[in-house]
Amino acid sequence: MSEVEETLERVKVQSGVEGYVIASHDGTVLRRFPSMSQELAEAYAESMKHLGKKSRNVVRDLDPKNELRYLRIRAKKHEVLVAFDPEFLVIIIQKWTPASA
């Protein structure tokens, strides 16, 4: 099993992970969580492609020597983690619950 396959297997079994998408920088879905629909995977890929591009530009505008590598977005029910690689985007969707006080 390749290193990529091993990593995907580790991600799948993490508690709270509801899906993942591996996409090219043009938004083409390369891999997705087995139970995730193709349409949902494409929606995440397209959205994160645009948001990632804008976010990277903001980081570069603030400091031209810096580069955005990871993006973490927390919503009411989910948290989306995006890793930017030179060849592709890795998007992980996980359930988010606030810590108990």
Q: DSSP secondary structure string, 22-55?
A: EEETTS-EEEE-TTS-HHHHHHHHHHHHHHHHHH
Percentage of the chain lying above the pLDDT 90 cut: 55
Tell me how far apart the alpha carbons of residues 41 and 15 are, in angstroms, rounded to a whole number.
Answer: 20
pLDDT of residue 44: 94
What dotted CATH number matches 3-95? 3.30.450.30
pLDDT of residue 11: 78
Instruction: Grade residue 91 by pLDDT with cuts at 50, 70 and 90.
Output: very high
Instruction: Grade residue 85 by pLDDT with cuts at 50, 70 and 90.
Output: confident
Q: Looking at this protein, which amino acid is placed at residue 34?
A: P
